Amino acid sequence: MIHSGVAEKIYSDLTYKDCVVSFHHVDYRKTTGGAEKYGVEQQKMMNDRSISYVALFIVTNQDGHKVGSNHLIVEVVIDGKTSCFLAAWQVGFCFSNLISTKKINLMRIFLNGLNMNIAMIDEILSRIKEKEEIETFHILHDYYCLCRNTYLFYNDEQFCGPAPIGSPLCTSCRYGEGREAIYDSINQLFIKHNVVIVSPSENGKRIFLRLFQHLEQNVRVIFHQHVIPSKNSITRFSMDDRNINIAYIGGKNSYKGWNAWVKLNGIANKSDYDFYHFSFADQTLPGTNFVDTSFHNGSKQDTTSRLIEHEIDVVLLWSNWFGNYNYTYYESLAANCLVITYKDSGNIADQTRHFKNGLVLDSEQELVELFNDTEKLKEIVASYKKSNMIYKITVNNELADELMGRRLYLHSEYQSAERQLNNDYEQTIDSLIQVQLELQQKLKVFDQHYKGLETHSNELETRYNESLVHSQQLETLYNELFHKDIENMANIQLLTSQFNEYYGNHLMISKRLAQLEGERFLKTFIRAFYKLIPLRIRLKLKKFFGI
């Protein structure tokens, strides 16, 4: 009952029946970062297509990996608003219930973060997928699936590649402990749930496949944004008699190039430059202009418009790890800024070479030497501004459009099925009408046959009645004959008795006649005796003896 009530709460908070579920490491509504920016854009692209966006993330101050999945609390955010808080084990039950009762159409599951609790993710996915298989995509925002240090930095000092699991470099690193177990759990999660890995760059794909070669067929490269040549021009002030405006975008992190930024702030000709620090938190160096780049709290400006507003000429993106995307690069490209990056910055270096919108340097020494020569850098910037094409950056809605396409396909299939059902229905009605006509014809034949049988039955009934009368007559005649037969039997018995009596007399007479036969007076005696016999008896004797 509790699960049902919570499920109803989630259902009532959904704007649309079609929805996606997305796992996040942190609350994308409050944190500023590339993965969180993608979360905001992903929610919008889904909502714009009438698809509700359900985000899940752990609410805990503890290390989520060290807490049993049944003891974790998950915040459920629907279309940007908190819906409820659930124990992790309740989440799967609620969505499984909503799916089985056809209240929601869960179109896809996104893993926007794995740095939470793999056992919890597996439990929720398994429960949701009990009723039907649902596509699951992991968006490769970082390299947590390769190492707990998501930037692949050995002891937070230098990029390691990543080092092979169990290698001396790995075991001597503070992040090496437990790495094999985490890798195995993530690998099993990917295989068990047939997870599609979405890398936002070819560089990210290459790094991922260093440890997941067996999943190459599951990897797709889909950039977060589209780069479109634009006819719009950006108005620029002349660089004559003014400093070069240079910006560093990001926090005080060594992997983002903070150390290189500090070195530039210490060059001898610093006065030739105006330094800007674009970040969500004011951690600027002395003499540096701070520009807030937060995209939360109702902010209507993006980083590109802020770069244009402050007339930034050069953007330093000195990441020293093989980053798999980097929003700031594309924002700098759209603002027509010259990008200066490090050769091992991953996708930044790849895209800078591709669009020819900056310099890819080999070392911090080369970087400092470049900035020490102000006039040379001005010439490079001016040459770039004159020859470079202007680009417009738009969100890549491919993953959302796929769901739209599937929905349109299913709708088309439904319409086709509906048309087929209508055709089948019409054909069935026609068939039923034809069957009805045939049955009516047969009924007429049966009716005629029935009437014939009824007439024949009446005739048989008449004959039966006649036979019954005849039978009664025969019975009467039989009874009469039976009585006469009884009388005849009595007469026969009487005659038999008389016959026996006469026959006895006859025997006696015959015996006596035999005795008298030798005697002479026999005839005379017989005649005399015969005359003594009554006439009636004599007649019977004559008849009997045939005299």
Give the model's pLDDT for residue 68.
59
Rounded to an integer, the average pLDDT of 522-545 is: 71
Task: State how far the Cα of 313 lies from the Cα of 382, in Å rounded to an integer.
Answer: 9
Q: What is the mean pLDDT of residues 413-427?
A: 66
Q: Where are the beta strands (DSSP E) in 99-256?
A: 105-111, 136-139, 153-154, 158-159, 196-199, 219-221, 225-229, 244-249
- Rounded to whole angstroms, how far apart are CA atoms 483 and 10? 106
Name the more confident of 428 and 359.
Answer: 359
19-23, 138-142, 251-255: segment of lowest average pLDDT: 251-255
Structure confidence at residue 322 (pLDDT) = 87
**In sequence order, what are the beta bridge partners of 391?**
229
Q: Is the pLDDT of residue 108 over 90?
A: yes
Mean pLDDT of 334-348: 94
The whole-chain average pLDDT of the chain stands at 86
Count of residues in the chain: 547
516: confidence class by pLDDT, cuts 50, 70, 90: low
pLDDT at 436: 84
Who wins on pLDDT, 152 or 71? Answer: 152
Tokens of 2: 């509790």
| pLDDT tens profile 78-87 | 999 999 999 8
- What's the whole-number mean pLDDT along residues 363-367? 94
Rounded to 5 degrees, what are φ and ψ at 78?
-115, 120
- pLDDT-based confidence at residue 51 (cuts at 50, 70, 90): very high
> Is the predicted pLDDT of residue 410 greater than 80, yes or no?
no
Specify the pTM: 0.72
Q: Which domains does the chain have, with CATH numbers?
A: 2-224 (3.40.50), 229-396 (3.40.50.2000), 399-516 (no CATH)
Query: How confident is the model at residue 237, as a pLDDT?
Result: 46
Q: Interior CA angle at 53 toward 49 and 59, to 5°? A: 165
pLDDT attached to residue 1: 43
Query: What is the distance between the alpha carbons of residues 479 and 500, in angstroms, rounded to a whole number?
Result: 31
- 123: β partners: none
- Alpha-carbon distance 10 to 81, whole Å? 11
**Among the ranges 6-20, 240-254, 505-519, which has the highest mean pLDDT value?**
6-20
pLDDT in tens, 120-141: 999 999 999 987 899 999 999 9
The per-residue pLDDT for 296 is 62
**136-139 and 196-199 as β-strands: parallel, antiparallel, unpaired?**
parallel
